[in-house]
Each structure stands twice: as structure tokens, then as C-alpha cells.
Amino acid sequence: MKKERVKLTAAEKSELFAEGVITVVLLLLLNLSIVILIYLTILQNQNLVNGIYFLKKTITFAGGRHLWSWQNTFLIMMGIADLIVLYWRLIRRYHQMQLRHVISELHYIAQGHFDHTISFKVKTDLQKVIDSINSLVASTVNAINEEKAIERSKDELISNVSHDIRTPLTSIIGYLGLLKSGVADPKDQQKYLDIAYMKAEQMKSLAHDLLDYTTLKSTSTKLSLTSLHIFSMLEQVAAGFEFEAHEKGITFSIETRPKELTIQADPEKLVRVYNNLITNALKYGKGATQIKLIANLVNNNEVELRVENNGAPIPSSSLKKIFERFYRVEPSRNTETGGTGLGLSITKSIVELHHGTISCESGADWTSFIICLPLNPKNAKING
Ligand code: ADP
């Protein structure tokens, strides 16, 4: 924002002018009285006249010039003193006016215009006050925006959850209604039961994810850290998906460098991270044949954990959003994959609880989820 000087109102300009005129008049009167007083004193004292004459003779400037005349010199000095006093009075009054402007701007802000910043600049310490007010305004605006965002996201959460509950519930009620009323064709009955059951399962997983999500978001969630041998954990996690992967013709590969890589982490939560990422790779990796679980020691403090799958990539426009809660790349929120859009948000929350970061890269061949974790989250907390 361009900063301007304080713009004085017409009344203030007149006030400043009046102050100037009064000061000049007072100074002239003062000067006159001083001059008269000095004249009287000097004229009554012949010694002083002689002394001044002697002084004038002895004071010589460059080029041998003498003092011009003591009266004129004295008058010039008095004139300079007058100008200084005049300037000091006017600038003092001007600063008072600046302060008045700042106070009236403060009143304006206090009336509820919390996004109003003071746009003028001054050359005194008042600028520090103005800067503090402006930064206070900026942080108030941020706080208000954050509050609004939280409010919006709560509304969004409620509306998404209501939608995700209502849709399967409508199907369940519909199919159960058909079965209850006895109008359903007996050969369709099993199909209706299956659909109702599947929808109920979907609701259960939503409730489950939602609970996990809100628990992880709560500030009181604690990690129970233990020493975790990554290779053994990855072997166990992969074994849990062996059947599903085999059905889809997908093979797992596990690589940890060094082989005995061990980190401090919450095992239950980290397994949840892997479960989410591997489920996604199996569910969304269209045409995938391979899932790689890789863990590398980056340096003395950090490890990089990667879950990679080949197959159809994630569109680059979606990459930034996939960690947002309820975001799904699939256009419909109720495709046959049946996700809640909370999986990656939960994953991200767990990683962040460990003071780590997660990102995703997706190219023509591979989609990779890359997690950076501190070797020991406790140290990361102290350092960070
Ligand atoms: P959900 O809980 O519905 O599975 P997620 O938050 O886990 O949702 O994932 C968000 C979206 O990211 C999914 O809708 C999916 O389209 C996309 N996605 C996640 N993992 C992969 C993957 N490995 N390959 C392709 N798309 C993926």
C-alpha cells in the first residue's frame, strides 16, 4: 500500500496558520522589548559602548574584514532564534495533529472496521505506534479469516457427512422396505439384502473414518512411541494384503536401506498409514501390477518412506487436493470404490503427529506417496 503524509483538513491548516501568526506577533513583541532593554542598558553605560567598539575592532574575518555592525549581527541572530522558535512551535502543533489523526483512525477501527489499516506515514516515533496498529489489524484480519474458514469447514463437514450418511441410508431403507412389504420378487431378495448390507458396511466405514479423523485432529491425541523395525513391519502389512493383491495380479516388493532400519514411531498409527496407502494403491491404481514399499535413511535424523504403485496416474490437477478431507478424484462421491475421501486426510494427520510430511508424485509410470519422518519425533519436537 502506498503510504502518504497526513492530509490536514482546512480547519487544521487555518489552526496552523493562526498558530504561526500568533507566534510571530509574540516573537516580534519579545524582540522589541529585548532590543529596547539592551539599548537602554548600553546607552547608560559608556564603558560597555567602548568595550563593544573594542571587540568589533579586534574581531576580524578572513580577508581582514571587520564585524559589520553589532546591531545588525545581533538582529540577525535574534531573527534566526525566532525562526527556530517558530519552526519548533509549528512542528509541535503539526505532530499533535498527526496524533489526532491516528486517534481518529483508531476510533474508526474500534467501531468495527477491523480490516482498516492506517495508510499515512510520519517521521516521528508515532510511526512505531502506527506500524504496531497495522500489524495488530493484520493479525486480527487473519484471526477473523481463520475463524471464518473453520466455521466454513465445519459446515462443509456436516453437509458432507449428512450426504454420505443419507445416500446409503436411503438405499438401505428402500431395499429393506421392499423386503419387509413382501412385494420384492423372491429371486431378487438376496440381491436386495446384499446391497443393503454393502451400504451398511459403507456407513460403518464412514463412521469409523470420521471418528479417526476427528480424534487425530484433536490436540490431545498422543503418540505411543516405540522402536519400530521397518522391514518387519512392512512384511507384516504386505502379508495382510497378499490375498487381495494376488486376486488383482499385483506383486509387492519391499526395500529398506539399511536393512535393519529402525525408527521411533507409533506402530498402530503407522500401520494405519500403510493400510490406507496400500488400500488406495489396490483400489485406484488402474492397471497396476506392482506395489513398492521403500524406506531409506536420509540422514542422522530423517527417514523417507515411499509407497509406490504403477498404473493409471492421478491427474495433476487433483494432486494438490487429494490430502484434503472428503476430496475424491472420482467425480461421484459414490462410485463402486466406495471411499469416504477421508483416507488421505487421516494419513496426513498421522504423519503430522509424528512431525513428518507427506507428498504425492504421479507420472505416466508410477504414483508415489512420499513420507518424511524424523527418526525420533520427540527430538523433532524439541528442534522444531
Ligand atoms: P478414500 O478414503 O475415498 O479412498 P482418499 O483420501 O484415500 O479417499 O483418496 C483421495 C483420492 O485420491 C481418491 O479418490 C483417489 O482417486 C486418489 N488416490 C489415492 N491414492 C491413489 C493411488 N495410489 N492411485 C490413484 N489414485 C489415488
Q: Which residue has the higher pLDDT, 277 or 168?
A: 277
In a domain, 145, yes or no: no
DSSP 29-71: HHHHHHHHHHHHHHHT-HHHHHHHHHHHHH-B-GGGPBP--HH
Nearest to 262 by CA among 238, 291, 233, 236: 233
| Whether 303 contacts 375, CB under 8 Å | yes
| Whether 114 contacts 141, CB under 8 Å | yes
In a domain, 300, yes or no: yes
In a domain, 58, yes or no: yes
| Whether 310 contacts 285, CB under 8 Å | yes
| Whether 276 contacts 344, CB under 8 Å | yes
CA of 343 to the centre of ligand 1 (A): 8
Confidence tier at 333 by pLDDT (50, 70, 90): very low
In a domain, 147, yes or no: no
CA of 284 to the centre of ligand 1 (A): 6
Confidence tier at 65 by pLDDT (50, 70, 90): low
CA of 280 to the centre of ligand 1 (A): 5
Residue 338 CA, closest ligand 1 atom number: 3
From residue 146, alpha-carbon distances to 140, 149, 151, 157, 357 in Å are 10, 5, 8, 16, 22
Q: Among 124, 140, 168, which residue terminates a domain?
A: 124
Beta pairing class for 357-362 and 302-310: unpaired
Cα–Cα distance measured from residue 262 to residue 258, given in angstroms and rounded to the nearest whole number: 9
CA of 232 to the centre of ligand 1 (A): 26
CA of 316 to the centre of ligand 1 (A): 13
Is 0.75 surpassed by the pTM of this model? no
Beta pairing class for 290-297 and 357-362: unpaired
DSSP code of 249? T
CA of 283 to the centre of ligand 1 (A): 8
303 shares its domain with 358: yes
Q: Indicate the SS3 state at residue 348.
A: helix
Q: Which domain holds residue 28?
A: 4-124
234 shares its domain with 366: yes
35 shares its domain with 169: no
Cα–Cα distance measured from residue 67 to residue 70, given in angstroms and rounded to the nearest whole number: 7
Whether pLDDT at 13 is above 90: yes
253 shares its domain with 316: yes
Q: Indicate the SS3 state at residue 299.
A: coil
Q: Among 165, 196, 217, which residue terminates a domain?
A: 217
Question: Please, what is the average pLDDT of the chain?
Answer: 88
Ligand 1 pocket: which of 210, 216, 248, 322 to mutate (most atoms within 8 A of CB): 322
> Residues 79-84: contacts with CB within 8 Å, 24+ apart?
82/24, 82/27, 82/31
57 shares its domain with 84: yes
| Whether 284 contacts 248, CB under 8 Å | no
Q: Which residue has the higher pLDDT, 49 or 265?
A: 265
Which protein residue has the closest C-alpha to ligand 1 atom 12? 322
Cα–Cα distance measured from residue 256 to residue 295, given in angstroms and rounded to the nearest whole number: 5
In a domain, 298, yes or no: yes
Residue 340's CB: how many other CB atoms inside 10 A? 23
60 shares its domain with 79: yes
329 shares its domain with 198: no
> 54-58, 157-161, 202-206, 223-227: lowest mean pLDDT where?
54-58
208 shares its domain with 280: no
Q: How many domains does the chain have?
A: 3
Provide residues with CB under 6 Å of ligand 1: 276, 280-281, 284-285, 309, 314, 322, 327-330, 339-344, 367
In a domain, 148, yes or no: no
CATH assignment at residue 272: 3.30.565.10
171 shares its domain with 260: no
CA 175 to chain centre: 48
Q: Which residue has the higher pLDDT, 127 or 73?
A: 127
In a domain, 142, yes or no: no
CA of 211 to the centre of ligand 1 (A): 19
238 shares its domain with 363: yes
Ligand 1 pocket: which of 344, 358, 370 to mutate (most atoms within 8 A of CB): 344
Q: Among 124, 146, 176, which residue terminates a domain?
A: 124
pLDDT at residue number 63: 64
165 shares its domain with 303: no
190 shares its domain with 271: no
In a domain, 302, yes or no: yes
